């Protein structure tokens, strides 16, 4: 069973900002970043409980090849993504988004 997915607007902003940064650094890299994100989202939707709980009910899925992670929780049959941030960002960013 694949879980439904809800990406909160603030997580969409995270993704867009990172995409733009990678594209500015090297044209085409932003698209590779998005491909890696889609792959990670597919893994999350298939088995969200396979990912470690990092704070209360929030789980983290590390994106392959890029230093980013999705922070999400499961509610009923839905995965709710609250953040997609670089590993060096302050963890308070995603903790405030519960």
Please report, rounded to a whole number, the percentage of residues in the chain having pLDDT higher than 90.
85
State the residue range of the domain holding 49: 4-95
**CATH value at residue 69:** 3.30.2310.20
Helices (H) and strands (E) in the chain, counts: 3, 5
Indicate the number of domains in the chain.
1
pLDDT at 1: 80
Integer Cα distance of 92 and 35 in angstroms: 27
The answer to whether 58 and 73 have CB atoms below 8 angstroms apart is yes
- pLDDT band of residue 98 (cuts 50, 70, 90) is low
pLDDT at 91 over 70: no
């Amino acid at each position: 069973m694949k879980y439904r997915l809800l990406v909160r607007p603030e997580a969409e902003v995270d993704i867009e900002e990172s995409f733009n940064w990678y594209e500015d650094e090297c044209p085409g890299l932003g698209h590779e970043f998005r491909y890696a994100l889609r792959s990670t989202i597919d893994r999350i939707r298939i088995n969200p409980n396979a990912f470690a709980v990092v704070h209360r009910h929030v789980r983290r899925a590390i994106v392959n090849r890029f230093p980013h992670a999705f922070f999400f929780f499961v509610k009923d049959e839905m995965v709710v993504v609250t953040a997609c941030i670089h590993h060096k960002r302050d963890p308070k960013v995603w903790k405030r988004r519960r």
